[in-house]
Amino acid sequence: NAGVTQTPKFQVLKTGQSMTLQCAQDMNHNSMYWYRQDPGMGLRLIYYSASEGTTDKGEVPNGYNVSRLNKREFSLRLESAAPSQTSVYFCASRIDAYTGELFFGEGSRLTVL
């Protein structure tokens, strides 16, 4: 089973460029999340979608936008990348917003020069 799939796995951007991180899950989960992880640190919640058609801000939403395209897909967009957005980004999903295991993708390593 594929689980949670993120693309791309690696990306290098210049300051000011834009890009979209794609995430898809095949587990029929209702809730999806985007986190960022900086070296040696825990995960910080950027945005989440409790269910199809809804999105909400997390701890660090500034500089990002999200789209819950359908039940399977949840994308993260950087409109004007900044060096402070250099990080590893993880997409995750779970059956609903209140219970259950969070399943993660393999991560997308983004470097902004």
Partner 1 sequence: TQLLEQSPQFLSIQEGENLTVYCNSSSVFSSLQWYRQEPGEGPVLLVTVVTGGEVKKLKRLTFQFGDARKDSSLHITAAQPGDTGLYLCAGRWGATNKLIFGTGTLLAVQP
**Which residues here bind partner 1, judged by CB under 8 A?**
4, 31, 33, 35, 40-45, 48, 50, 56, 58-59, 90, 92, 97-99, 101-107
- Sign of dihedral through CA atoms 38, 69, 105, 59? positive
Complex with partner 1: residue 3 or 63, whichever CB lies closer: 3
CA-based nearest residue to 49, from 38, 63, 65: 65
Q: Tell me how far, at minimum, the Cβ of 14 lies from partner 1, in Å.
A: 25
Complex with partner 1: residue 79 or 96, whichever CB lies closer: 96
- Sign of dihedral through CA atoms 97, 102, 108, 112? positive
CA angle 50, 69, 20 (to 5 degrees): 105
Q: Tell me how far, at minimum, the Cβ of 39 lies from partner 1, in Å.
A: 11
Q: Tell me how far, at minimum, the Cβ of 45 lies from partner 1, in Å.
A: 6
Phi, psi at 48, each rounded to 5°: -145, 165
Q: Tell me how far, at minimum, the Cβ of 98 lies from partner 1, in Å.
A: 6
Complex with partner 1: residue 4 or 66, whichever CB lies closer: 4
Phi, psi at 2, each rounded to 5°: -75, -40
Complex with partner 1: residue 19 or 45, whichever CB lies closer: 45
